Amino acid sequence: MKVIEGYMPYLGYKTYYRIVGECKGNKKPLVLLHGGPGSTHNYFEVLDKLAEEGRAIIFYDQLGCGNSYVDGHPELWCSETWDNELIELRKHLGLDEIHMLGQSWGGMLAIEYLCDYKPAGIKSVILSSTLPSAELWAQEQHRMIRHMSQEDQDAIAKAEKTGDFDDPAYLAANDRFMLLHCAGEVTEDSPECLRRPKKVGVEAYVAGWGPNEYNPTGSLGGWEYRHKIGDIKEPVLIINGTDDLCTPLIAKTMYDLIPGSKWELFAGCRHMCYVEENDKYCKLISEWMEKHD
C-alpha cells in the first residue's frame, strides 16, 4: 500500500504527516486527530486497513510530540496552536473535502475547530472517546475513582491535596486507574505500532491538560463546549466504550446535544475501542464514511 511521509513547516518548527493509500472514485480522505495532548499518531496505524478500500488516510503528529517533538516552550501548549496547525495542514495538503476522526483530546480539537472556525468541506465527523467539557470529564473520572480500593482512593486524594504527583503510591494507583479505563498493557502480542518506541510530549500534556486525566489544570482546564456543540451541522458519529475514560454519561451528553448524531457504545471496551474491537470499529467507520462521502 502506498505510504507518503513528509513535514509541514509550522511556527518555525515542523509537523510530521503520513498518508496511507489514495482516494478512488468519490471517496474522501480521512484525517485522524490523535489524543493527549502529546500522544502521537502511532496507535492510529491500526486503522491503516481503511485505506485498502480506496481511501487516503492522513495521520500527523501534532506539534509537541512524536516526529513533531518540541519542548521547552510551555506557552505553545494551548488549543490555538493545534487549531491553527490543523488549518495549515489542510491547506498544505490540499484537503478541500475530508472526513475527520478525533479521539480523546483529538475529539476536543475537532469540536473546537467545528464550533469556532466553521470550516468548509467537512463531510462527516467521528468523535471517538472524547468529551464536550473538561469539568464533566473530571467529574466522571472522580466518580470512577470511587470504585477503586480505599488505598488507591487515598493515594490519589493525597496527591491532589499536596500536589505531589511523584509519590509512588499515587503513581501505582494512577497506573491501576488507567489500566481499568484507558488501555491494557502493551505485550509482545500487541500491534507493532503500539510496541514501537515513541517520543511522548510530556510537557505538551502537563501544560495543555494537567498531571493526569482527572485534574485538568493546564490551558484546557476550563474547556467547555456543551453550550456550543448544538450548532454543529455536520453528520456526527459518537463512539465510546462501556469501561472508557469517556463514560457513557459523557458520550450521551454529546449525543443529546448534537442534532442528528449517531452513538455507538462498544461493550467491554476502554479508551481505545479501535484497538480492542478493531474489526468492528473499522467496519463501522467505513460504512459511516461511505454513507457521507
Is residue 40, in this structure, part of any structural domain at all? yes
Residue 92 has pLDDT above 90, yes or no: yes
Is residue 122, in this structure, part of any structural domain at all? yes
* Residue 179 grid coordinates: 489500566
Is residue 199, in this structure, part of any structural domain at all? yes
Q: How confident is the model at residue 15 (pLDDT cuts 50, 70, 90)?
A: very high
Residue 272 has pLDDT above 90, yes or no: yes
Is residue 168, in this structure, part of any structural domain at all? no
Closest CA to 275 of 199, 187, 177, 174: 187
- Overall average pLDDT of the 12-20 stretch: 98
If residue 25 lies in a helix (H) or strand (E), which one and from where to where?
A: none
Whole-angstrom Cα distance, residue 291 to residue 27?
10
Is residue 181, in this structure, part of any structural domain at all? no
pLDDT in tens, 230-253: 999 999 999 999 999 999 999 999
Q: How confident is the model at residue 58 (pLDDT cuts 50, 70, 90)?
A: very high
Is residue 157, in this structure, part of any structural domain at all? no
- Overall average pLDDT of the 182-204 stretch: 95
> Domain containing 206: what range?
3-142+187-291
Is residue 166, in this structure, part of any structural domain at all? no
**Catalytic residue annotation:** 104, 244, 271
Is residue 192, in this structure, part of any structural domain at all? yes
Residue 25 has pLDDT above 90, yes or no: yes
End-to-end CA distance of the chain: 22
* Number of domains forming the structure of the chain: 1
SS3 60: strand
> β-strand 57-61 against 13-20: which pairing, if any?
antiparallel
| DSSP state at residue 27 | P
pLDDT of residue 1: 87
pLDDT of residue 54: 96
Residue 78: which CATH number?
A: 3.40.50.1820
Q: What is the pTM of this model?
A: 0.97
